[in-house]
Amino acid sequence: MKPALIIVDMLEEFVRGRLKSPQAEAIVPAIRRLIDAAHRAGRPVIHVVDSHLPFDAEFRVWGKHAVKGSPEARIVEELAPSKEDLVFEKRYYSGFRGTGLDTALRDLGVDTVLVAGIHTHICVLHTVADAFYHRYNVYVVKDAVAAFSKKDHEYALNYMKQVYGAKIVSLEEAEKLLSG
């Protein structure tokens, strides 16, 4: 198994900005642990992050957020990428759409993705859906993803398991998977 860690949207906007939630803040330490485990094992760490243009479709639903180049579109400092980490900017919910993520994963020889970040029922779910269609084995780290409500979170975990065959794993299980 050749896993990569994919971290979705751990941005100022969603952790401490206008679209913040205590749930997003609460998973920061768990994601830090995953990053450290991936680094120790020499596995790729990849952030996929909102970087919106002023006319993007999502603004109709959420209002203006995480605009490209703004302070809100910065990854929170606790999870700031190190030199070897990769960052892909996106304008859609899915980390695969229009980003080149799939090509990069193939170049790296990755066959399995472990997904963490926010929000379980939005960008995590859409990223998992595309990972499924691109034929990756998908693990969702339940202690390292979050939504605005527990109901949305639980619903999305169950949906990804049933519809995309994602395996839902704990933080400890994910650390083991990363370290092989």
Interface with Zn ion (CB under 5 A)? 50, 58
Shorter beta-carbon distance to Zn ion: residue 50 or 143: 50
Shorter beta-carbon distance to Zn ion: residue 50 or 175: 50
Name the residue with the smallest CB distance to Zn ion: 50
Q: To 10 degrees, the CA torsion angle through 78, 83, 89, 94? A: -70
Minimum Å gap between C-beta 57 and Zn ion is 9
Helices (H), 81-134: 101-107, 123-133
- Report the half-sphere exposure of 18 (CA within 13 A, side-chain side): 9
The answer to whether 130 and 90 are in contact (CB under 8 A) is no
Helices (H), the chain: 12-15, 22-26, 28-41, 59-62, 101-107, 123-133, 150-164, 171-179
Shorter beta-carbon distance to Zn ion: residue 51 or 137: 51
Residues 6+ apart with CB under 8 A from 110: 2, 3, 4, 44, 136
Minimum Å gap between C-beta 117 and Zn ion is 12
Shorter beta-carbon distance to Zn ion: residue 61 or 77: 61
Shorter beta-carbon distance to Zn ion: residue 50 or 72: 50
Minimum Å gap between C-beta 50 and Zn ion is 4
Minimum Å gap between C-beta 66 and Zn ion is 6
Minimum Å gap between C-beta 76 and Zn ion is 16
